[in-house]
Amino acid sequence: MDNLDKVLNTLKDAGEPLKSKDIAEKSGIEKKEIDKAIKKLKKEEKIFSPKRCYYDIKVD
């Protein structure tokens, strides 16, 4: 499982918007890597930011 999948799964399991720091703590991935994954997932429109610095998964 790559970092993108781990970020998505962490957000799914949380059930609420999380900061990148919280995603890093819950997934065990370095924050720098989380920030890269978030940037890519936002570009792919798989996640969104409901408020500044918080991220949540998009539900189809």
Supply the CATH number for residue 29's domain: 1.10.10.10
Which pLDDT value is given to residue 1?
A: 79
Helix (H, G, I), strand (E, B) or coil at 25: helix
User: What is the mean pLDDT, run by run of 10 residues, along the chain of 60 residues?
Assistant: 94 96 96 97 96 91
Give the domain extent around 27.
Answer: 3-57
Tell me whether residue 37 is exposed, middle or buried, using C-beta atoms within 10 angstroms of its C-beta: 0 to 12, 13 to 18, 19 or more: buried
Tokens encoding 54: 């918080």
- Residue 2 sits at the vertex; the CA angle it makes with 51 and 23, to the nearest 5 degrees, is 30
Rg (CA), the chain: 10
Tell me the pTM: 0.90
Which pLDDT value is given to residue 59?
A: 79
Which pLDDT value is given to residue 9?
A: 96
Which pLDDT value is given to residue 40?
A: 97
Tally of structural domains, the chain = 1
